[in-house]
């Protein structure tokens, strides 16, 4: 009986992997697979309706709040003109120097996304940055590749993004230990970003063009003052330095963002702007929240059937963290297309099983499963929602994008995995 159950569980896992890699709806895929695993594992109905479908979701409330307020803050940065103002001033500072402008714009973008969160924010800022880069004579493939690397680079320290993983790895916190790792990973990412731009710029022989007309797409930022450039960094400063919790830190950022852009000058203006940015922020993160809820349900189901898989396949799973680390480094591209090493894809099954088996420390599993979504997926995978938008926006072929970015993303993955093992885990 156990052998038959194991075979059926493995078969449904492989189907889930193929489904995710073919671009299937993740929310639906996780929910259906969770139900199938409960049926195959003969999980009692009361456990299914209580522990799996209710308790797992209810326990996720705090993380959802962080995601919502992070997305709201991201919308404030965009809709008040703060992000556009920072980008425009960066372009003006660089002058008529395409390479310098490209480097500065992407570095500034990377810094903005250490706090800004949500697909809407990525798209809105991309509508400003990408035309600027292409008006400078940067080819569109390099422009998209650099922007995606810049967005991904901010995620190592982004409280809202990192908090998603705490729902799966409940013992991990955004503390000084993590901040140390995040800072080093950000530095690694910055080196890769600069090298990517220099390499691709060196291959191209483009004429120099000025970007002022494209910069005007930022709109409505002409009345802002220089001090607004500090607003994007308020949440991360409050969390990392002053030890605030993420939600009040984002509220502080939202308030100052609205105040310093004169959106609180009248009651009507304050209500209108606050409601619109909140609404757009929730809309930006709605599908993500639904997917994360389904991930929690799936993870709870995986814990119930883990003993079956452990009995059958326990001998085949390496007990050494070093071996697993090497496997993740060598096969890092399997995180592409929501593959088995991408935790926000079919990889949640592997993560849940490894957790339930208790073979590896939670800190180790967190670090290896957290690195690839940033270094590989956000940096080079066309199935990332905002990457799909960007490729369509500038009309770049997905194969060309992967060819351009994957090698750099893979090198970043290996560097961060090795660094994470020594800095964060040991």
Q: Is 390 helix (H, G, I), strand (E, B) or coil?
A: helix
pTM for the complete prediction?
Answer: 0.88
User: Domain span at residue 380?
Assistant: 2-425
Residue 166 pLDDT greater than 60, yes or no: yes
- CA torsion through residues 53, 54, 59, 65, sign: positive
By C-alpha distance, which of 154, 155, 153, 129 is closest to 142?
Answer: 129
Residue recorded with tokens 């929910």 = 31
Angstrom CA distances, 42 to 12, 36, 76, 301, stand at: 15, 10, 48, 11
How far is residue 42 CA from its own chain's centroid?
35
Residue 178 pLDDT greater than 70, yes or no: yes
Per-residue confidence band for 179, with pLDDT thresholds at 50, 70 and 90? very high
Separation between Cα atoms, residue 355 and residue 187, nearest integer Å:
30
| More reliable by pLDDT, 45 or 385 | 45
Per-residue confidence band for 234, with pLDDT thresholds at 50, 70 and 90? very high
pLDDT tens, position by position, 284-308? 888 888 888 998 898 888 888 878 8
pLDDT tens, position by position, 106-156? 999 999 999 988 888 999 899 999 999 888 888 999 999 999 999 999 999
Q: Is 72 helix (H, G, I), strand (E, B) or coil?
A: helix
- Judge contact between 20 and 346, C-beta under 8 A: yes
- CA torsion through residues 79, 85, 86, 87, sign: positive
Q: Where are the beta strands (DSSP E) in 326-426?
A: none
Per-residue confidence band for 60, with pLDDT thresholds at 50, 70 and 90? confident
Q: Crossing angle, helix 119-135 and helix 61-79, to 10 degrees?
A: 40
Task: Quote the number of domains for the chain.
Answer: 1
């Amino acid at each position: 009986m156990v052998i038959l159950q194991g075979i059926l569980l493995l078969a449904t896992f492989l189907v889930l992997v193929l489904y995710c890699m073919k671009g299937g709806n993740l929310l639906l895929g996780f929910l259906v697979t969770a139900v199938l695993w409960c049926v195959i594992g003969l999980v009692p109905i009361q456990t299914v309706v209580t522990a799996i479908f209710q308790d797992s979701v209810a326990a996720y409330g705090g993380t959802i709040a962080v995601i919502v307020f992070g997305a709201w803050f991201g919308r404030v940065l965009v809709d008040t003109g703060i992000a556009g103002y920072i980008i425009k001033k960066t372009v003006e500072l660089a002058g008529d120097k395409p390479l310098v402008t490209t480097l500065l714009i992407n570095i500034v973008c990377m810094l903005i996304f250490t706090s800004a969160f949500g697909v809407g924010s990525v798209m809105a800022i991309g509508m400003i940055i990408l035309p600027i880069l292409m008006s400078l004579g940067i080819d569109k493939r390099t422009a998209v590749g650099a922007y995606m690397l810049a967005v991904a680079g901010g995620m190592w320290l982004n409280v809202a993004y990192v908090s998603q993983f705490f729902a799966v790895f409940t013992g991990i916190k955004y503390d000084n230990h993590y901040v140390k790792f995040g800072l080093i990973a950000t530095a690694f990412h910055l080196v890769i970003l600069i090298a990517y731009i220099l390499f691709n710029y060196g291959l191209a022989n483009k004429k120099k063009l000025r970007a002022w007309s494209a910069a005007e797409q930022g709109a409505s930022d002409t009345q802002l003052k220089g001090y607004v450039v500090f607003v994007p960094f308020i949440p991360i400063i409050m969390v990392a330095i002053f030890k605030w919790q993420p939600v009040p830190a984002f509220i502080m950022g939202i308030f100052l963002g609205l105040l310093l852009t004169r959106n609180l000058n009248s009651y009507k203006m304050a209500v209108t702007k606050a409601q619109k940015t909140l609404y757009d922020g929730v809309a930006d993160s709605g599908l993500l929240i639904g997917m994360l809820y389904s991930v929690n349900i799936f993870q709870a189901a995986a814990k119930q059937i883990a003993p079956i898989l452990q009995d059958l396949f326990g001998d085949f799973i390496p007990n050494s963290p070093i071996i697993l680390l090497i496997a993740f480094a060598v096969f890092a591209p399997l995180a592409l297309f929501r593959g088995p090493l991408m935790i926000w894809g079919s990889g949640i099954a592997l993560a849940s099983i490894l957790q339930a088996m208790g073979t590896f420390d939670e800190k180790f599993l967190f670090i290896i499963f957290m690195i690839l979504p940033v270094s590989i997926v956000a940096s080079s995978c066309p199935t990332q929602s905002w990457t799909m938008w960007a490729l369509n926006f500038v009309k770049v072929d997905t194969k060309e994008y992967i060819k351009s970015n994957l090698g750099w993303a893979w090198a970043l993955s290996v560097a961060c995995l090795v660094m994470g093992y020594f800095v964060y885990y040991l």
